Chain A
Amino acid sequence: MVAVDAPRDRPEGDRLEGDRRHVGRVLCLLLVLLLALVAILSLGHGASGVSAPRVLADWLAGRQIAPTDRIVLVDIRLPRLLTGILVGAGLAVSGAVMQGLFRNPLADPGLLGVSAGASLGAISGIVLGGMLPAAILSFTGWHLVPLAAFGGGWLAMLLLYGISTRRGRTSVATMLLAGIALAAMIGALSGLIVYYANDSQLRDLTFWGLGSLAGASWTKILAAGPLIAAALLAAPFLARGLNGLALGEAAAAHVGIRVQRVKAVAILTAAAATGASVAISGGIGFVGIVVPHLLRLLTGPDHRWLLVNSALLGASVLVCADMVSRTVIAPAELPIGIITAMIGGPFFMWVLLSNRRVIDL
């Protein structure tokens, strides 16, 4: 306990000016409500026209539920909703963590090589998967592409981490530059494989790149969910470390932050969440940049609420985008990546333009 011997000019307990945590707390509550609302809407809306409230009312009243209704809700809409929540929260938190680590509001997990590696993995899975021995194919089944994407993402990240870490110290600047070089090499390799793809594989590749939650299933949730959940649980422990890093690595170390540990955990957290998200939903862009940025405008850059609120808002945003994607041209589906890019692109441009003063310095 610390006693302060300086005079106090205000009664104790009075809120300190410039402390925006109460705003973050209130916003957190609102975002929980928003997510609940969006989740209910998402369960209730779909191409089949099954009404979730009616089914719920039937179930509560003890009436028989039609088997088709049950399948639509429990095996189609619910896993899809959960996937949307996991992927949206995972992408948004990874974005916020990366921005804190790189000290740049436009950073994203793509800088870790995860996205490029995952893309190479998915492309290899789609194009070269057929050449694998039958035994392996029957073992992996439909999960070959997600598994290859996840493996590719992690391999790229570990390679980059190894390259930029010398004598137990990771250089964020080296990581940024080496990431560009690595992404170029991975891109070339991906291009080479794409060159040999046939027409139907090309179509699969294109749709994978646009992202979709259409493949959501309980199996995928069980595989990717724990990884994303672990990342979401780890993220709040990074908050104070990332706040300190905003002052620079030296100043962060001076106040007692174990900088290398924060960097390593941040990278692992972002890679786990992004790798798993990309594996089960393909390439969904902009959530990781738009959501944290929007929240920073509202509550400031303090990571103690930023990370939690990013998870909540990211989940809501993706579930909403998914609702649009599966209803706007029903019964067909628009890839969700198109919708996030349609909203995210102009937003990103606005962020750039409104930060021009800082960027031009």
Chain B
Amino acid sequence: MQRTRFFRQNTLDALEASIDQNLPWYRGENDNAPSPISDEYGEMSDSTSTDFSCFDALNSNCADSDDLKNVIVIYNAFKFLSPQQASDGRIWSYATHCLAENYVRQRWNNIPKDDDKATKYIRSHYFVSGTRGLIRDNAVARLWWMGHIASRCRDYDLERTLTILLRDSDVRASLLERSSLSMSNEIFSGVVRLLGKSLNDCSAKDKKEDKDPNIYKRENFRELMKMLNRRGGRIMLNALDAQQLDDILNDMADKIIEDNSN
């Protein structure tokens, strides 16, 4: 077990400023390319100890929908982090460069040939820029934050919630990557309940979960998000109890599916 590590700020700044010079290392095109990584790192306290071998368990040959196992690995390994700690880009930048570099290189291997575009791509996936950088772009941070947001759902365990969310890229983007909805535990849990119920109903009817329930269809789900945003601008959705919120969401879903099936 080792304490969670992070790049010191001046080390991180220097690394980010020299991406263009270190492109051969990021591209992995030359075994002799000098590593840009110095051994200047900080460590958090004993209470943040974890087993770094978790990074070896990451599956780099996967599409978005297969992120589920990776999310569970990283989230469980770093479950002790508070949101404040996990919002520190220095931790995740250290992870992408020093702990999960093989995973990151293979998973995010579409580095553009153009050096300027390559620098931008690397900055996006190896470093953290803004809040979007945490939950969507940084190769390791996004796994933790997906797990953290999913763990807030009160009705299903982590794996079930992730199964519901990662089934479709639109659902994932709306619920995990757009923070306004995912930040509210109450509304997030309500939408996950709706999706979970529709998956259960669908599988009960068809004896398998391969078929997408109607609410997962792109036009239906997007309409649901629009209606939710409109209603949320008028009433405090997160002040409602679970039953009241479920009634609203179920009514919305029924109307959308009925309208779009006509």
Note whether A and B form a binding pair: no
